[in-house]
Structures are given as structure tokens and as C-alpha cells.
Amino acid sequence: GQNIDQPTEMTATEGAIVQINCTYQTSGFNGLFWYQQHAGEAPTFLSYNVLDGLEEKGRFSSFLSRSKGYSYLLLKELQMKDSASYLCAVSPDGYKKLVFGTGTRLLVSP
């Protein structure tokens, strides 16, 4: 089976740093994605990791450890507009079938 776990909800304050964790157990692995989804909107692509290590893109970074089945998304210098759900997804077989976690709702307060 396929299983992806991430915390349901997190809170943080403006300007802070937050780390959203994701663990996965899938039948195969062809990459891990992070998407941001504001309420009522479509998911927006944030990052893609297929090799171990850290990928940095502006205020957002994503880390992957394939041996541990673990990833995290790091958001720095939080802004109010970062309040959204963050979805962790794995591609098990490279056939464009993403398996999603249930998402982490992040609330950024002033």
C-alpha cells in the first residue's frame, strides 16, 4: 500500500521559520513533491526532490532522505500569505500518478 503522513495543522508567527515534515511508505519512489494550496484554490507546485539532500528556492527549501522515507519543507521569513495547506506527494512509479498526504494546514499569525 501507499502511505504518506504529515501533521494536520501547524501554527507560526510572521517572520519565523517553520518546518513541515512528511514521511512516506510507497511501493516505489520516483520523486517527492511539495505543493501549496490556498483555500478554494488549486495546488501550486513548490518543489521536487528525487535525490537525497536539500533543494533551496528562495524562502522555501525542501529536504529528502530516501533511506528514511522522510522529507521536510522549510519556510523562512514567514509571511501572512504563507497561510495555506502544504501537500506532500510521492510519485511511486513515474507514471504521473501522485499519491498525496492529507496536507498540513499552516496558520501564520502576526
Residue 100 within binding range of another protein, rule CB under 8 A: yes
Among 22, 87, 106, 108, binds another protein (CB under 8 A): 87
Q: Which stretch binds another protein (CB under 8 A): 14-22, 53-61, 67-75, 98-106?
A: 98-106
Contact 17, 27 (CB under 8 A): no
Buried b (16+ CB within 10 A) or exposed e, 50-66: eeeeebeeeebbbbbee
The span from the CA of 100 to the CA of 14, in Å, is: 27
Question: What's the CA angle centered on 37, arms 32 and 40, to 5 degrees?
Answer: 150
Binding residues for another protein, how many (CB under 8 A)? 24
Of 78 and 90, nearer to another protein (C-beta) is 90
Positions in the binding site for another protein (CB under 8 A): 30-31, 33, 35, 41-45, 48, 50, 87, 89, 91, 94-103
